[in-house]
Amino acid sequence: MKPWNNKAWLFTIPTLVLVAFSAVIPLMTVVNYAFQDTFGNNVFTWVGLDWFRKILHSERFLAALIRNLAFSAIILAIEIPLGVLIALRMPKKGIGVPICLVLMSLPLLVPFNVVGTIWQVFGRNDIGLLGASLKGLGIDYNYVSDPIDAWGTVIAMDVWHWTSLVVLLCYAGLASIPDAYYQAAQIDGASAWAKFRYIQLPKLSRVLTIAVLLRFMDSFMIYTEPFVVTGGGPGNATTFLSIDLVKMAIGEFNIGPAAAMSLVYFLIILLVSWVFYTVMTRHDD
């Protein structure tokens, strides 16, 4: 049990000051915008909850929200099991380990707009390897005009970009399981499935929760990559919440509704993440 000492607060002050500097004032400004209307010239009028009412009843917001929830759900359903599977099959020692780690980390280190650019060209059916190969196979593929192809491209891109994060986390989680567990399983004659279900999966639960949490937050806020590839199109097919938000805030300069939308958006992420956090720390002291 850790000792109780309120002086420990002093150690957190640099962190607090630095994070609060960038967090509190912008957040309060956004809250301010969300309750006011402006016609420029720094004249603001109080509108109360109008923007929130408008946002929550707007079909455009709900459509983007549903699209984004679907996107996050698909991403998690693909990346988490795939990441676990790859981590389970990765070499445990030897030269293969650093090679796998370095090669798998490469997509994580590519700036977001470069990720978009790579896939934008890669998927083009006249000059890109993916597009041209699919065309060569006689598959009618065009992410610019077909909503399903656009979704497929954006999902493939995200799987390419982020699955390695899940792999790295799970690989480390697996590495921390003491050998004694496996020896005991061997003596009991446990099957591979039993070993996974009763030893590896429980030990992975913690890193998995964190992987799910990080992937949820990031996929729910995804902006740059799909924007570069599809620009939110065709039509609104890949207009996720962030893309819609930027359109509203910068394209249409509707600061009030955009601010209200940001807060609703933030609260949704906060709520889901809080549930994960509570589940994650349930077994701690």
Partner 1 sequence: MIPTLYILFLMVPIYWLASMSLKTNGEITGGFSLWPRSPTLANYKVIFTDPSWYHGYINSIIYVVMNTAISLAVALPAAYAFSRYRFLGDKHLFFWLFTNRMAPPAVFVLPFFQLYSAFGLIDTHIAVAIAHCLFNVPLAVWILEGFMSGVPREIDETAYIDGYSFPRFFFRIFTPLIASGIGVTAFFCFMFSWVELLLARTLTTVNAKPIAAVMTRTVSASGMDWGVLAAAGILTIVPGALVIWFVRNYIAKGFALGRV
Residue number with CB closer to partner 1 (29 or 186): 29
User: Side chain identity at 161, as an amino acid letter?
Assistant: H
Residue with tokens 């902006």: 223
Interface region with partner 1, contact rule CB under 8 A, candidates 25-33, 38-46, 55-63, 187-195: 25-33
Residue with tokens 């600061």: 255
User: According to CB under 8 A, which one of 66, 103, 139, 275 is a site residue for partner 1?
Assistant: 103
Residue with tokens 């807060």: 263
- Residue 36 is inside which H or E element, if any? strand 36-38
Residue 108 contacts partner 1 per CB under 8 A: yes
Distance CA 33, CA 258 (A): 9
Q: Give the three-class secondary structure for 37.
A: strand
Interface region with partner 1, contact rule CB under 8 A, candidates 9-17, 70-78, 146-154, 194-202: 9-17
Residue 19 contacts partner 1 per CB under 8 A: yes
Residues within window 206-265 making contact with partner 1, judged by CB under 8 A: 206-207, 210, 217, 221, 223-224, 241-242, 245-246, 249, 255, 258-259, 261-262, 265
Q: What residues form DSSP beta bridges with 38? A: 44
User: According to CB under 8 A, which one of 173, 200, 208, 215 is a site residue for partner 1?
Assistant: 173
Residues within window 40-79 making contact with partner 1, judged by CB under 8 A: none
Residue with tokens 């002291």: 285
Residue 201 contacts partner 1 per CB under 8 A: no
Decide: 51 and 34 in contact? Cβ < 8 Å: yes
Interface region with partner 1, contact rule CB under 8 A, candidates 48-56, 81-89, 188-196, 230-238: 81-89
User: According to CB under 8 A, which one of 81, 98, 202, 251 is a site residue for partner 1?
Assistant: 98
Distance CA 160, CA 158 (A): 5
